[in-house]
Amino acid sequence: MLVGRTRLAADLVPLGLRPGTVALVHCRMSALGRVIGGAETVIRALIDAVGPEGTLFAYVGWQDGPPDDLELLAPGDRELVRAEQPVYDPAVGRARRDHGRVAEAIRTRPAVVHSGHPEAGVAALGHAAADVALPYDPIAGGVDYVEHFARAALERGAGRSGPLGAGTGHVFDARGLTEATVELIEATFGAGG
């Protein structure tokens, strides 16, 4: 089934996206069906749903960062990585593949704000982007990066944020960040939808 921007935007409303929402975006494109225009269409539908006063943000990480198991490499390989690994630059450091095409599309949009952290980084777009994409310091912050960005979003008036085509998501409300099972957008596009 083909899915377009208008349908996506309308079907985001029952998931809690309204004008002014600060939304953490998780998206598995394959769960949405065949989206006309791909990830860019999904972003435009999300922007339509949250409006000019809303904000979208996504975890992006760094696809080409140094290996997590650096200490397990042979000494020569470790030294090669240390000598030749590019320094992280959020303007060109691609989002991790496992964060999806929508995260990468948000990262590369004009006027995006990046938190600047190579591993726990977010890219934000919209009215409160600079407020949500605050730099993350795991030592000084005292909280994990999910809670850090959730608190930043909550302080900026975040509403409900659910995953697009994923299993669970986060709900931002006055009680703070709570894990919650949320409606899946793919249910909207399932058989008979």
94 within some domain: yes
pLDDT of residue 141: 53
What is the rounded CA–CA span in Å between residue 135 and residue 117?
A: 7
- Token pair in block for residue 58: 């996504």
Closest Cα to residue 25, out of 173, 153, 119? 153
CA angle, corner 148, sides to 144 and 152, nearest 5? 170
37 within some domain: no
Secondary structure (H, E, C), 77-142: HHHHHHHHCCCCCCCCCCCCHHHCHHHHHHHCCCCCEECCCCCCCEEEEECCHHHHCCCCCHHHHC
pLDDT of residue 149: 59
12 within some domain: no
- Classify 55 as helix, strand or coil: strand
Provide the domain count of the chain.
Answer: 1
Place of tokens 């899946």: 184
46 within some domain: no
10 within some domain: no
Residue-range definition of the domain harbouring residue 86: 19-31+51-182
8 within some domain: no
115 within some domain: yes
Is 46 within 8 Å of 14 (Cβ atoms)? no
Give how far Cα 112 sits from Cα of 54, 100, 125, Å: 13, 17, 5
- Token pair in block for residue 79: 């030294």
Say what the pTM is.
Answer: 0.72
φ, ψ at 35 (rounded to 5°): -85, 120
150 within some domain: yes
pLDDT of residue 169: 35
What is the rounded CA–CA span in Å between residue 176 and residue 58?
A: 18
Residue pLDDT tens, the chain, 193 long: 799 999 999 888 887 788 888 888 878 888 888 999 999 999 999 999 989 988 888 888 888 888 888 899 999 999 999 999 988 888 888 888 888 899 999 999 999 999 888 877 889 999 888 888 877 665 555 555 555 555 565 555 544 444 444 333 333 332 222 222 222 222 333 333 3
What is the rounded CA–CA span in Å between residue 179 and residue 55?
A: 21
